[in-house]
Amino acid sequence: MNLQTKAIHSGYEKDSQGTMAVPIYMTTAYEFHDVEHAANLFSLKELGNIYTRLNNPTTDVFEKRFAEVEGGEAALATASGMSSIFYAIANSAEAGDNIICANQLYGGSLTLNGHTFKRFGIESRFFDVHKPEDIEVLIDDKTKVIFFESLTNPSIDVADIEAITAIANKHGILTVVDNTVATPVLCRPFEFGADISVHSTSKYTTGQGLAIGGILVERKGLVEKLKDNPRYPQFNEPDASYHGLVYVDVPLPPFALRARLSLLRDIGAVPSPFNSWLFIQGLETLSLRMKEHSANALKLAEYLESHPIVIKVNYPGLKSNSNYANAQKYFDDGASSGLLSFEVGSLEEAIKIVDATKLYSLVVNIGDTKSIITHPASTTHQQLKPDELVACGVPAGLIRISCGLESIKDLIADIDQALKA
């Protein structure tokens, strides 16, 4: 099936009532047939529902459907995009290990990797996404993850996925790609060698800012990379917390399985069944919306590029952009999502422009049908020092726009009057 068909049909077999819409199973628990049935579920001799902190029929449809659209083998839905990143890294590394991260990351990812994981004893080492060749010197025998975004937020850079994954595969290291901004409609990192993708489904997946959620997806055949890999003993040795289970020996995708049984079970950052249902609805129209988001963003970027007070426009759909070649390579038809940013001369000028907009909403979110404007240096990246802001592509004069689905004429008109204010 093609991607759009998968987004509408995958993962759901109509129930006895023949319901066209996926039902919302709003329950915390499930009755077992008898003690033997319960024991078999807990020992994985049978697969089925145990408790909604572990699995839920509505969430199960969402996980299967998203995995199909992404081109993966299995998925784990989470309570937020940040929890999906946490699970992906915590599933791979432990105290004494290190991870390698791109400088150009969402502010929350920078603080998670650079500060929170440090308190867990996991070191983060950083590289410039434009210089993947620098990764190699950062690798040692304790390196467990290379983490980057396919389309960075808010610097709007396109990672050279094949170059990064080639280095990782040479050393047997897992790659985790945040594919939130591009979405699986535009970019499927597994086709270019990535191992794990993570998403904030709060963004384009829901599409209307309705619900917080995330998802982690495992590529097909990842067990071959994990099996007997000395970097990842947790997948190859008996898990004492789950009656000696060896994850690579179970006929189920091991990365998602361990994240569910070892992390979701204990930490519990799980989505509400209702939120999973909302994400299912969003998936059905995602491919249509991404085309419109991308078309609007390109036209707005072209307008901004021609404006005399705009110093720089960051949008890989522009032929003048340094990321254009990567966008053509990694994104379907070169469409570059709805996120763009542009730079003006100073912090004061940027604030003045943001405050002067009328149609755009000043919100720290992206991927909404409604257009959003943000000043990252004073919000999402406020915790960074001036030199750190520059390093991650967020100078003080940068303004980020999540281009919605309004008339592009109205969006340009509002920015035009704000730039003149």
Q: What is the 3-state secondary structure (H, E, C) of 146-200?
A: EEEECECCCCCCECCHHHHHHHHHHCCCEEEEECCCCHHHHCCHHHHCCCEEEEE
Residue 224's pLDDT band, with cuts at 50, 70 and 90, is very high
Assigned token pair, 336: 């570059």
Q: What does the pLDDT look like over 105-150, one tens digit per residue?
A: 887 898 898 899 999 999 999 999 999 999 999 999 999 999 999 9
Assigned token pair, 125: 């080492």
Q: What does the pLDDT look like over 44-81, one tens digit per residue?
A: 889 999 999 999 999 999 999 999 999 999 999 999 99
Task: Note the pTM of the prediction, 2 decimals.
Answer: 0.94
Q: What does the pLDDT look like over 147-191, one tens digit per residue?
A: 999 999 988 999 999 999 999 999 999 999 999 999 999 999 999
User: Rounded distance, CA 362 to CA 397, Å?
Assistant: 16
Topology given in CATH for the domain delimited by 3-274: Aspartate Aminotransferase; domain 2 (3.40.640)
Q: Report which of 402, 290, 386, 407 is spatially closest to residue 342, judged by C-alpha positions.
A: 402
User: Rounded distance, CA 89 to CA 101, Å?
Assistant: 11
Question: Residues of the chain with pLDDT > 70: what percent?
Answer: 97
Please report the pLDDT score of residue 106 as a whole number.
Answer: 86
| In the chain, ranges of CATH 3.40.640.10 domains | 3-274
Q: What does the pLDDT look like over 305-324, one tens digit per residue?
A: 999 999 999 999 999 999 99
Please report the pLDDT score of residue 155 as a whole number.
Answer: 87
Q: For domain 287-420, give the CATH number.
A: 3.90.1150.10
- For residue 15, pLDDT beyond 90: no
Collapsing DSSP states into helix, strand and coil, what is residue 119?
helix
| In the chain, ranges of CATH 3.90.1150.10 domains | 287-420
Q: What does the pLDDT look like over 360-390, one tens digit per residue?
A: 999 989 999 999 999 988 776 666 667 776 6
User: Rounded distance, CA 50 to CA 62, Å?
Assistant: 17
Query: DSSP code of 239?
Result: B
Please report the pLDDT score of residue 378 as a whole number.
Answer: 79
Assigned token pair, 297: 């963003």
Mean pLDDT of 231-257: 96
